[in-house]
Amino acid sequence: MQENIERLEEMIGYRFKRKHLIEEALTHPSCDNGISYERLEFLGDLILDAIVGITLFKKNPSASESFLTDLKSAYVNRKYLQKIGEDIKLHKCIQYRGYEVPHLDNFIEGIIGAIYLDSGWKSAETFVKRFILNKKIEPMQNYKNLLSSIARKEFKTEPVYQVISEKGPPHKKIYTVKVKIHGKRYVGTGKAGNKKDAEMSAAEELLRKLGLK
């Protein structure tokens, strides 16, 4: 673990005063050794949301609330955070059991929680600005909302989502969701590590099949 911690500290340019915090943040629940990133992930998720939201709010003084919501989603969504995890080679620093590398997005949130507890808001903000807010990206299209409003306007109904399957161990679940619009023959299917993302990608597929995307 010692080595993993040093590798990470070098990668992110931050040295932890309290090593037990980063040890926790780098430990996947599958290790089953009494510590795991889960509580830190809870904390880091909220802190990340707030830092990203506050920064975007200040940077975009005339943007609407819905633009800010979509842009914030783009910076905090699981896929984007997973990519950040890959960029900083997080898979080389984490502890887990099993053959497959776990999702890295949860670790990113855990690390943010650990930095916050170790030395406060400013340090967490520095990390978020350096690794997450450093890229210019497009607001995330909310395909569920888009599909809903089209279904309402064009077909006078609402899309129906159903979770078809939920596979894998607790910390590496894959949800498969399908979405239909009553009276239309097309079905959109989406897979992801959480229901919301699976629904979003199912909605995106259905929009594409309907020729609306």
What's the Cα-to-Cα distance from 14 to each of 93, 179, 186, rounded to whole Å?
14, 44, 50
Closest among 158, 154, 156 to 212, alpha carbons compared: 154
Residue (2 or 64) nearer to a second copy, CB: 64
Residue (13 or 169) nearer to a second copy, CB: 169
Contact positions with a second copy (CB under 8 A) in 49-108? 49-50, 53-54, 57, 63-65, 68-69
Quick check: 33 binds a second copy (CB under 8 A)?
Answer: no
Placement of tokens 């502890």 in the chain: 95
Contact between 186 and 206 (Cβ < 8 Å): yes
Residue (5 or 63) nearer to a second copy, CB: 63
The gap from C-alpha 60 to its chain's centroid, in whole angstroms, comes to 23
**Site map (CB under 8 A) of a second copy, residues 115-134, x = contact:** ------x-------------
Closest among 181, 177, 188, 180 to 213, alpha carbons compared: 188
Is 109 catalytic? The answer is yes
Q: State the Cα–Cα distance between residues 109 and 12, nearest whole angstrom.
A: 14
Among 6, 13, 15, 42, binds a second copy (CB under 8 A): 42
Contact positions with a second copy (CB under 8 A) in 157-176? 158-164, 166
Q: State the Cα–Cα distance between residues 193 and 77, nearest whole angstrom.
A: 11
Q: Please state the closest distance from residue 19 (CB atom) to a second copy, in A.
A: 18
Q: What is the dihedral of CA 43, 47, 53, 55, to 10 degrees?
A: -170
Region near a second copy per CB under 8 A, out of 12-20, 40-48, 77-85, 97-105? 40-48
The catalytic residue among 24, 41, 109, 118 is: 109
The catalytic residue among 23, 24, 41, 45 is: 45
Among 16, 27, 28, 41, binds a second copy (CB under 8 A): 41
Contacts of 45 (CB under 8 A, 6+ apart): 109, 113
Among 152, 168, 174, 212, binds a second copy (CB under 8 A): 152
What's the Cα-to-Cα distance from 190 to each of 34, 83, 181, 187, 201, rounded to whole Å?
34, 19, 15, 10, 5
Binding residues for a second copy, rule: CB under 8 A, are: 38-39, 41-43, 46-47, 49-50, 53-54, 57, 63-65, 68-69, 121, 148, 152, 158-164, 166
Active-site residue list: 45, 109
